[in-house]
A and B are shown apart, each in its own frame.
Chain A
Amino acid sequence: MSGKKIQNRVCIIIPAYNESTSIVQVITDLKSTFKKTSYDIKIVVVNDNSKDTTAILAKEQGVVVISHILNTGAGGATATGLSYAEQYNFDIAATMDADGQHDPWDVLTGINEIIKRNDDLLIGSRLINSDGMSKTKIIGNKGLSAITYILFGINSTDSQSGLRIFSRNALGQLRWKTSGYEFCSEMLWRAKQQKLRIGEYPIKAIYSEYSKSKGQNNWNGINIVRSLIKRRITEMFE
């Protein structure tokens, strides 16, 4: 081992579905950001049965690639990544989007913050400072956060953020049932049920033409709300 002091083993999970356009750039940026830090990082790309060359390109970058046999959705891919992090005893795990909308520096900030604050789940909120975000996206995200509050009683400024940092404790306890984008809200609910400490920190979202085309639209938001209501009602009979 080199003289570099390893503080924490960190697993950075990137759920990806047809992200051949951006995946190489995302991995390269992450590597260069964490190069001079004391963290022992492992980048894990969860290829959710992409139809393009996402998996091949990610493998060429020398990262761990877990390929799903079936397409499960963002929730399923994230769950696989976190399960990997738990099985390999990582101290901290982080999830980020594969479309390049997250700044790797924000991932690093989040990891530093979770250690400092001693939280279990830290959400990178794009809405604490929403500069650069379109009005439609702000309304959509705020709406979904309001629905999350009404249904589950969780007060989060950005319940749909893909940038999340998990403590070892959270890795062992967090499980959710939905596999689509609605998992973002359900995860917060499960964290609350498990009495995990949930925190937030501001991040900036980088919206390129590509990330805009890949992101969720407000119609998808309606579908998320429908699924969340269904999940909430179903659980009343459990």
Chain B
Amino acid sequence: MRYIILVILNMPIIILALFNILTQYKMNKVTKRRFQRQLILWLLILIVLICSFPFYNYLVGKPLLDSTELSLFDIFQTTAIIMLFYGANSQRQKIERTEKTIRDLHQEISIKLSIKEKQ
């Protein structure tokens, strides 16, 4: 049951992330390479979440890897981590885009000013 809560809580974040990357790709805002990498990354997170219960069952009884079942607190914590990861990832992309715009702008202004000065 708890593992179902884990998937239910995290599913909207992952769907949002997949939806965002697909929209950006379709609007030509990201390259195919970036789209593929992001797609793989989020699908991987989704698979890990879905498979967490069978994976837990598999690990039970194995030395070193044996652990107790996830508590409700663990589930909220995992959800918070994924949420933070999503936030940090999208913010970083925004910062990089802004950085590029500023850099290009600075470059263009410097070139244009030097030409204007020469005339």
Contact = CB atoms under 8 A, between A and B. Distances in A.
Interface of A: 46, 64-70, 72, 76, 79-80, 83-84, 87, 177, 179, 234, 236-238
B108 to A, nearest CB: 8
Interface residues of B, number: 21
Give chain A's interface secondary structure class: mixed
Q: Is the interface of B mostly helix, strand, loop or mixed?
A: helix
Nearest to A235: B37
A68 B111 CA distance: 8
Nearest to A87: B111
Given A238-B34, A238-B38, A72 B106 contact: yes
B80 interface: no
Contact of B37 (A72, A177, A237): A237
B118 A64 contact: yes
Nearest to B107: A80
A179 B103 contact: yes
Interface in B99-117: 99-100, 103, 106-111, 113-114
Given A177-B96, A234-B92, A67 B114 contact: yes
Contacts of A67: 110, 113-114
A237 B89 contact: yes
B25 to A, nearest CB: 13
Given A68-B106, A79-B103, A179-B103, A237 B114 contact: no
Contacts of A80: 107, 110-111
Contact of B103 (A76, A237, A238): A76
B16 interface: no
B106 A64 contact: no
B24 to A, nearest CB: 12
A177 B100 contact: yes
A78 to B, nearest CB: 11
B55 to A, nearest CB: 23
B96 to A, nearest CB: 7
B41 interface: yes
Nearest to B108: A83
